[in-house]
Amino acid sequence: MSKENQKEENAVNESYRQKPKVAVYVCHCGGNISDVIDVKRVAAELSKYPNVAISREYAFMCSSTGQDFVVDDIKNNGINRVVIAACSPFLHELTFRGALNRAGLNPYLYEHVNIREQSSWVHKNDKEGATLKAISLVKAGVEKILRQDPLNSIRVEALHSVAVIGAGIAGLRAALSCAENGLDVTIIEKSDSIGGNLRRSGNIYPTGEKASSIPENLSKKVLSMKNVKIYTQAEISFVGGYVGNFQLNVKKSDGNFEKVKAGAIIVATGFNHYIPHEGEYGWKKSTFVLTLPQFNELLEQSAGSEIEIEGKKIKSVAFMHCVGSRQIDGIDKPGKNGKVNDYCSRICCTAIIHSANRLKEKFPYVDVFDIYTDMRTYGMHHEKYYKDASKNDVIFFRRPLEERPVVEIGSDSIKIKTKDVLTMNEEMEIEADVLVLGTGIVPNDISDLVEYLKLPRGSDSFLQEVHPKLRPVEVSNNGIFIAGTAQGPMDVMETLQAANTAAVKAAALLSSPDIPLDPFVAVVDEDKCTGCGLCLAECSYSGALTMMEKEVNGKKKKVAVVNPALCKGCGACVAVCEPRAINVAGWTLDQFDAMVEAIAKE
């Protein structure tokens, strides 16, 4: 730790030595709390509680004005403990720690009590009960903070290098940004080349440029950087370490292993197109049933005045939306994971209409039908594609979400039977030479990587960021960021923006010689430790706990030793320690006892 950091932490710890003076702040949360809980009553009750010097309520404690109340009370009224009763700490814990830090108080002498999710939202029909519960929870928070020691951030040395997993446009963009910020970069790609899904023919919207030009330009720039190393035909077989010092074992195509060290990891593993199951809307029952990527390839390869398949001149094409997206349990067939894809793939509508317009531009004689569920041309100026399609005489049919069109494969044509919401659910029969399935986006299979990195996934199996506004592209594991369609369906522009965001966050994290980590990790009382080893058997994090022979009070004994950089503070070791020799800093057993006692008294 630098001298400047040490001085700063010494300064914010000084007030701890004084008699506890607790300030309680109860947030209205814009009605999310105050519509159910009597916040004025909560504040009034807490003002009478022992060691509470100030108790206030305010509409939005997370606002700059709300934070100023906290800062001013610390500076002007000698407050040295803070309790915030508000929404989930998941959202604003860092916000209030920052306020304490600005006021010169140790940022960990603060307790966040969740009275929104744990009280107002779950007791909307019992306002009196919700209020009483909130009072109990806040009193428990006061008891906990009274027993809180000032904690200092754990600091770990940071390697100024980044490992980027995946070499599609997200991975290449993230790697280039990191390299331009002076970081050493290693790109790990499982296929034999870089560029990802855009290594294809055709143009992209809204720029109209060739799809392949984007990965080609990025590849040239990345390959020109001296501080970038690329492994292709490589797979990750193991990931260890922690933020600032990760180690990845990379298995190369010839069977050799390479060890890659990195201070941060960017996961840019991309997406795949949904593959219909056999028979789904005629898939694999006819060569005239194509997925949208297949049709786009055919369209770009078709020259002259006609478009043909197997020598047959195509005179009519029908596009089907939402194939593999917005599926419904009991109607659609589940995938290998036993789930249906109930999410919207977002970009399919615009992609389909873009292809329909392209088809009409090249072959105006072709009749085009579009069978959609809801039209979602959400991007800037993307609505123009829809309007242009109407001008190009594309005929639209809006099918009900809960009913699936029936596809019949004939010898000369394909018949699609569906209801049309636009004509009051009239039964329609559409006849076309070709049926194009607008397949959705699914995440690539990265099960091994998810296990190695303990990556969080949503119900849709895409990787999940902590919070889209407060901590975008970050996962709950420190030092790991996600970029592009590994996180969810995105178009090209969104993918590149997300990749840049991940790169900037990685560069910011590694901008200093060391990285501060939360101090909520296991702490061993060596006097009480018997060396039984039960804690090691319970720990899920390799290397977080070890047994070591040490001299304690003049005698050698085996004791548990914690690696704070690897410990996640889960408390599993605490639960099995009979002599109570292990505690989690900031969440000690004594604090829990006091909280339970405070609640039991109510």
Please report where in the chains the tokens 């855009």 appear, as a residue: 198
**The domain over range 3-153 is classified in CATH as 1.10.3470:** no
Q: Give strand pairing partners of 416.
A: 407, 430
Cis peptide before 516 (omega within 30 of 0): no
Local confidence band at 155 (pLDDT 50, 70, 90 cut-offs): very high
- CB-based burial, 456-481: b 16+ in 10 Å, e otherwise: eeeebbbbbbeeeeeebbbbebbbbb
In this prediction, residue 200 carries a pLDDT of 83
Helices (H), 436-522: 447-453, 492-509
Local confidence band at 12 (pLDDT 50, 70, 90 cut-offs): very low
> What type of residue sits at position 211?
A
Whether pLDDT at 532 is above 90: yes
- CB-based burial, 99-131: b 16+ in 10 Å, e otherwise: bbbebebbbbbbbbbbbbeebbbebeeeeeebb
Secondary structure class of 367 (helix, strand, coil): strand
Q: Which CATH superfamily is domain 275-441 in?
A: FAD/NAD(P)-binding domain (3.50.50.60)
In this prediction, residue 509 carries a pLDDT of 96
Arithmetic mean of pLDDT, 270-275: 96
As a whole number of angstroms, the distance between CA 193 and CA 507 comes to 26
As a whole number of angstroms, the distance between CA 354 and CA 204 comes to 9
264-267/480-482 β-pairing: parallel
Q: Is 502 exposed, middle or buried (0-12, 13-18, 19+ CB in 10 A)?
A: buried
Among residues 440, 490, 201, 146, which one has the least CA distance to residue 322?
A: 440
Give, in order, the Cα–Cα distances in Å from 563 to each of 158, 159, 523, 545. 16, 18, 10, 6
In this prediction, residue 204 carries a pLDDT of 83
Average pLDDT along the chain? 93
Give, in order, the Cα–Cα distances in Å from 200 to each of 195, 216, 477, 566, 580. 10, 11, 35, 43, 62
Whether pLDDT at 487 is above 90: yes
Domain limits of the chain?
A: 3-153, 161-270+444-515, 275-441, 521-584
Arithmetic mean of pLDDT, 246-267: 94
CB-CB contact of 341 with 324 (8 Å): yes
CB-CB contact of 250 with 465 (8 Å): no
Please report where in the chains the tokens 């690329």 appear, as a residue: 230
CB-CB contact of 564 with 517 (8 Å): yes
- 1.10.540.10, 3.40.50.150, 3.30.70.20, 3.40.50.1400: CATH of 521-584: 3.30.70.20
As a whole number of angstroms, the distance between CA 244 and CA 98 comes to 23
For 546-597, write each residue's pLDDT tens digit.
Answer: 999 999 999 999 999 999 988 989 999 999 999 999 999 999 999 999 999 9
In angstroms, how far is the first alpha carbon of the chain from the final one? 45
Residue 167: alpha-carbon gap to chain centroid = 20
pTM of the model: 0.85
Arithmetic mean of pLDDT, 439-445: 95
| 3-153 and 521-584 share one fold | no
| DSSP strands (E only) in 118-193 | 154-157, 161-165, 184-188
**The domain over range 161-270+444-515 is classified in CATH as 3.50.50.60:** yes
Sheet holding 426-432, edge to edge: 406-409, 414-420, 426-432
CB-CB contact of 298 with 201 (8 Å): no
